[in-house]
């Protein structure tokens, strides 16, 4: 079953350069993107800095309107049904934004859960279950300001799951974490998938995409360069450079980006 459809999506930004006499320019952050995400899978968005990954996620999470094209999440149109979509999804952007540092881990979850109008008794239980799921039970009453990056990111994921979302969007979920914290977070993400959550993530770590993603799309300058399973994308890299030795997603990614028509 399809959870997300993206159909010829386009999103432009007007940028005003410094200097009153200069004309605004238009940045085509997402040019003509089409893909689908299946229910219950982990789907990866890969691409260079500025490729359009965050813009795509912000459009799917209804934080930005499309300039053209269409996208649906759980059958709902992102340009029209944003309230209904927001009830059914959640998102986590890398870093520490989105949590109250002067509240405890549990109180953060209870607060964010209350925004989804969960009944207080169920909410307390849900908060404790999520803290256990991400391995923060012992720190449930500690203030977030005392947390390390890894602990904060675990709590972010718990916050992202508080409304039992159909889709959890994660923008660079493991950025800046040490190897063991990364491994912990991968387990938590895989567990969320096992529990039925569809996950869309961006990452610059190709081994992470290789490990986690059922399907992925590689984009460059807002356009699709390759897509499919990891094996499909490796095959597309091999097809582009038959004489090169392409054995990993990383090899294929570099070949595909460097060889793409949109790459300057
Ligand atoms: N609010 C904005 N106003 C103007 N331009 C923007 C805005 N947001 C993004 N852009 C531009 O859109 C393009 C795509 O940006 P986006 O943040 O989607 O890329 P990204 O793939 O997420 O990059 P990164 O890996 O660096 O996070 C970039 O050229 C960026 O400068």
Mutate to test the pocket of ligand 1, among 44, 52, 64 (most ligand atoms within 8 A of CB): 52
Task: Name which residue sits closest to atom 17 of ligand 1, judged by CA.
Answer: 54
Would the pLDDT of 104 be above 90?
A: yes
- Average of per-residue pLDDT across 87-104: 85
- Cβ burial of 243 (10 Å; 0-12, 13-18, 19+) is exposed
Mean pLDDT value across residues 42-52: 96
- Give the CA distances from residue 53 to residues 10, 76, 80, 240, in Å, rounded to whole numbers and listed in that order: 12, 21, 22, 23
Give the percent of the chain with pLDDT over 70: 97
Whether pLDDT at 89 is above 80: yes
Please work out whether the CB of residue 29 comes within 6 Å of at least one atom of ligand 1. Answer: yes
pTM: 0.93
Determine the atom of ligand 1 nearest the C-alpha atom of 56: 18
Q: pLDDT per residue over 148-173, tens digit each?
A: 988 999 999 999 999 999 999 999 98
Is 27 close to ligand 1, i.e. is its CB under 6 Å away?
A: yes
Domains of the chain: which residue ranges? Answer: 2-95+167-259
| 5-32 pLDDT per residue, tens | 999 999 999 887 777 677 788 999 999 9
Mean pLDDT of 214-234: 96
Q: Which fold has domain 2-95+167-259?
A: Rossmann fold (3.40.50)
């Amino acid at each position: 079953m399809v959870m997300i459809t993206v159909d010829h999506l386009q999103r432009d930004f007007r940028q005003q350069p410094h200097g009153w006499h200069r004309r605004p320019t238009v940045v085509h952050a997402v040019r003509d993107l089409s893909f689908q995400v299946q229910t219950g899978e982990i789907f990866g968005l890969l691409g260079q800095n500025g490729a359009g990954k965050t813009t795509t996620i912000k459009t799917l999470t209804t934080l930005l309107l499309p300039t053209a094209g269409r996208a649906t999440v759980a059958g709902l149109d992102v340009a029209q049904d944003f309230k209904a979509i927001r009830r059914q999804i959640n998102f986590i952007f890398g870093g520490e934004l989105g949590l109250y540092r002067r509240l405890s881990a549990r109180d953060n979850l209870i607060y964010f859960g209350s925004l989804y109008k969960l009944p207080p008794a169920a909410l307390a239980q849900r908060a404790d279950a999520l803290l256990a799921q991400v391995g923060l039970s012992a720190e449930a009453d500690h203030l977030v300001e005392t947390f390390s990056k890894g602990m904060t990111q675990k709590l972010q994921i718990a916050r992202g799951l508080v409304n039992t979302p159909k889709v959890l969007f994660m923008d660079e979920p493991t950025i800046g974490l040490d190897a063991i914290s990364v491994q912990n977070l991968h387990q938590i993400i895989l567990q969320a998938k096992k529990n039925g959550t569809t996950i869309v993530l961006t990452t610059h770590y190709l081994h992470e995409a290789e490990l986690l993603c059922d399907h992925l799309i590689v984009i460059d300058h807002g356009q699709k360069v390759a897509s499919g399973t990891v094996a499909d994308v490796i095959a597309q890299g091999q097809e582009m450079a038959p004489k090169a030795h392409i054995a990993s997603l990383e090899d294929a990614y570099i070949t595909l980006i460097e060889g793409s028509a949109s790459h300057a």
